[in-house]
Structure 1
Amino acid sequence: MAERHPQPVFLDTTVVSNFASTDGIGLLTTVLDSPVVVPAVREEIERGERAGYEYLDAVVDALAESLPVREVPSEADHSDIRDRLDAGEAESILGALEHGGTVATDDLAARRVAESREVPVTGSVGLLVLGVERGTIASETADDWLDGWRKHRGYYAPVESVKELLDDEQ
């Protein structure tokens, strides 16, 4: 199957945190050929773990094994991105720009900045859909995770079910 998202896919903190909260880090590292995080996302995840969010333990473990941290350029010509967004989103977009990849973010401002720079964008729901399409997760499980994100994390999604985004054959 052709790759839907140019690799690597730079995962921001919200996307990683969503999947971690449903024990789904394995899905990210299975369904994506090259998932990565940037230093700012690693720092945000580690700060959350220290603050007591135990579900982030799996992410910290993955950072050492299956979810590599990719450095990003710090040139001043991208200061407009760093000024407009939180560090994790900004570095994720800069990484995707530098490496010709995709940014995975649910942050509307980050999505708009990425799109204005012609950086491919996906998010938590898009990655759930990709997992269902590739047979890595059942659509019912994907909907359960989405429902859990809404109830326990205050997550907003533009759809009620991932089934709305699947081909009729799924």
Structure 2
Amino acid sequence: MENNNEGNKEEPLLYIHQPNFQKPARKMQDSFLSEDVAEIVQKENIVPQEVKQKQSFTIPPLGSENMIEVEQEISDETQEEIKKPVSAADYFRRNTGTSSRKSWNLTPVKSFRDMSIPEKLQYLSGFPSSQQPYSCEFITENQRYSGTLSKYEPDRIIVKSSQGDTNAVDVKDLQAIRIMI
């Protein structure tokens, strides 16, 4: 029987004569390299040209008390060749702390009460045809009109009441607009 930990399970027999299908190997991504990561790795590996890295160690000879000291200079070419691969987890750990989250540049929406009359009319006229418009109360100095905004022009509006009557109101005469709930 096959090991279930590897993800290989016996599938049900579907044909009388079973074809020998090649099953794809499942592999997870261990590491990746992007331009940002390459720049960060290069910044980490930058060594000033004046200072050369030296690797030193001492070897005690077996029969004597004197120590032999060996110094080996590592050239810039070999330093560039020694680049450690960056795993995906390390990349995200490093970048979540340093970079801020992306901003969507969303502007806060004013409440209907805080809008001016032209802004309210623009808002009420901007509903899509699939959405039912809000029933409002349009207040002038002499009269109150209740209904929905049917048509908006720069100098006048047409209000359709719930009975089907239409009333034309000048925009300059409007004092307030309230949404009726």
> What is the TM-score when the length of structure 1 is the normalising length?
0.19
Looking at both structures, which has the greater relative contact order when contacts are Cα pairs under 8 Å and sequence separation is at least 6?
Answer: 1
